[in-house]
């Protein structure tokens, strides 16, 4: 399965495996480099998945008049769109 086909959970599980292997320190240099490269791709995939999820989050904000208004995350800085 390629990195791009993995779910967030699968990518995180593989990252944990890679960390354990590298922490043991018994992998040959070439294998360590390949694992590091795979790990960086997985980190990018996970970061993108988290950013996409954040954009889909709906925020409930209570207005001054007591109404609750739903707002989706808007800008790239994570701030909600204004009504």
Whole-Å CA distances, 15 to 27, 38, 41, 59? 16, 9, 10, 30
Q: Predicted confidence band at 67 (pLDDT cuts at 50, 70, 90)?
A: confident
Q: Where are the domains of the chain?
A: 3-72
Nearest one of 26, 58, 22 to 38, comparing CA atoms? 22
- The domain defined by 3-72 folds into Helix Hairpins (1.10.287)
Tens of pLDDT, residues 14-51: 999 999 999 999 999 999 999 999 999 999 999 999 98
What pTM was estimated for this model as a whole?
Answer: 0.66
Kind plus residue range of the DSSP H or E element containing 47:
helix 29-56
């Amino acid at each position: 399965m390629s990195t791009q086909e993995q779910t967030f959970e699968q990518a995180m599980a593989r990252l944990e495996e890679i960390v354990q292997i590298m922490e043991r320190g018994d992998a040959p240099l070439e294998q360590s480099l390949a694992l590091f490269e795979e790990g960086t791709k997985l980190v990018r995939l996970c970061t993108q998945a988290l950013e996409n999820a954040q954009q889909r989050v709906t925020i409930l904000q209570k207005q001054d008049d007591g109404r609750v208004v739903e707002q989706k995350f808007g800008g790239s800085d994570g701030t909600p769109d204004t009504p």
